[in-house]
Copies of this chain bind each other. A is one copy, B any other.
Amino acid sequence: MTATIHRLCTPQPSLEPMLGLVAGDLNAVNAVILDRMQSDIPLIPELAGHLIAGGGKRMRPMLTLASARLIGYTGTRHHRLAAAVEFIHTATLLHDDVVDGSDLRRGKRTANIIWGNPASVLVGDFLFSRSFELMVEDGSLKVLKILSNASAVIAEGEVNQLTAARRVDLGEDRYLDIINAKTAALFAAACRISAVVAECPEGEESALDAYGRNLGIAFQLVDDAIDYVSDAGTMGKDAGDDFREGKMTLPVILAYARGDADDRTFWKDAIEGRRDSDDDFAHAIDLVRQTRAVDDTLARARHYGQRAIDSIGGFAGGKAKDAMVEAVEFAVARAY
């Protein structure tokens, strides 16, 4: 008997298998999203639509849909819930861009730049309320519990990140706490709720939660690495954005920990906002290269990616499982 061990090894992994797997379901989810972002107040669908229709990958709804496929769920309740998850995500993006003063997301001008901070805050609140209305319509208190908890954890994570801002001595553990809360919690919930509507045993619920959570951490780590290697074309954000905003991410944490006294002074100055020129960024790139900080951020990402893959090891093989494995490979391979 031979064990089947899924490893991070596909040469050019892509999201295509997952997209193909859930294409029909995703159309249904998009229909719910478009229907439920409507309002008599024209600014609401206009602003929400800018972000919702604006090239997002629908990563979280896709995870809900793919998880449902993995466990053989044949109903349609997860369509509405996947839309609720996307609304929560969109609401947090709108508020994030206000909090960070961002001007670009996915290569487009942000809503707060076009319509102003007040509109972004309020339309975020609207989408957040609408997501709960969708969940209430579904009627599962267990799903409501999972997603209201995830929402509170996300907000806590955002505040945690805010209070950690510009602290060069943040450390990897607290950083992981932050991304666990602000990114991985919703990935985990998106996967878990499919197991809830399908009434799977607790073990399968936990396995899907772990898949989403580890994938979410891997995803965020790669995003953070990309800021120190790529240009604006790669993912619709400018390389150096995080650096110029003094954002503490793992590449900085590692470069700081591994640097000499001069390097640490440089990072402290940069994170505290006293170094944000192009030359400073070029020097930062040098330092992360010398300290292998990006390489090792990506190695950490692969660690969590492998954990995501192994957490669904117990499910029967097939198209859904293959697509979910390749989605992880895609997530961790984006920076190469």
Within 8 A of B (CB), among A247-287: none
Instruction: Determine if B118 and A99 form an interchain contact, defined as CB atoms under 8 angstroms apart.
Output: yes
Instruction: Determine if A158 and B117 form an interchain contact, defined as CB atoms under 8 angstroms apart.
Output: no
Q: How far is the CA of A139 from the CA of B122 in the complex (A)?
A: 27
Q: Of B91, B125, B135, B152, which contacts A158 at CB under 8 A? A: B125
A297 within 8 A of B: no
Asked if A163 meets B95 with Cβ closer than 8 Å, knowing A152-B126, A155-B125, the reply is no
A interface SS class: helix
A175 within 8 A of B: no
Q: Of B135, B151, B163, which contacts A129 at CB under 8 A? A: B151
Instruction: Determine if B162 and A43 form an interchain contact, defined as CB atoms under 8 angstroms apart.
Output: yes
Cβ contacts under 8 Å, A99 to chain B: 117-118, 121-122
For the complex, count residues of A whose C-beta is within 8 A of B: 43
Cβ contacts under 8 Å, A136 to chain B: 141, 144-145, 148
A41 within 8 A of B: yes
A133 within 8 A of B: yes
Instruction: Determine if B126 and A41 form an interchain contact, defined as CB atoms under 8 angstroms apart.
Output: no
Q: How far is the CA of A69 from the CA of B100 in the complex (A)?
A: 46
The residue in chain B whose Cβ has the minimal distance to the Cβ of A128 is: B128
Q: How far is the CA of A135 from the CA of B152 in the complex (A)?
A: 13
Instruction: Determine if A152 and B129 form an interchain contact, defined as CB atoms under 8 angstroms apart.
Output: yes
Which of A130, A139, A155 gathers the greatest number of chain B CB atoms within 10 Å?
A155
CB distance from A139 to the nearest CB of B (A): 6
A44 within 8 A of B: yes
21 intermolecular pairs with C-beta atoms under 8 Å apart: A39-B159, A44-B156, A95-B121, A95-B122, A98-B117, A99-B117, A121-B121, A122-B158, A122-B159, A122-B162, A126-B152, A126-B155, A126-B156, A128-B128, A129-B152, A129-B154, A132-B144, A132-B148, A133-B148, A136-B141, A139-B141
A residues apposed to B, CB below 8 Å: 39-44, 91-92, 95, 98-100, 117-119, 121-123, 125-126, 128-130, 132-133, 135-136, 139, 141, 144-145, 148-149, 151-152, 154-156, 158-160, 162-163
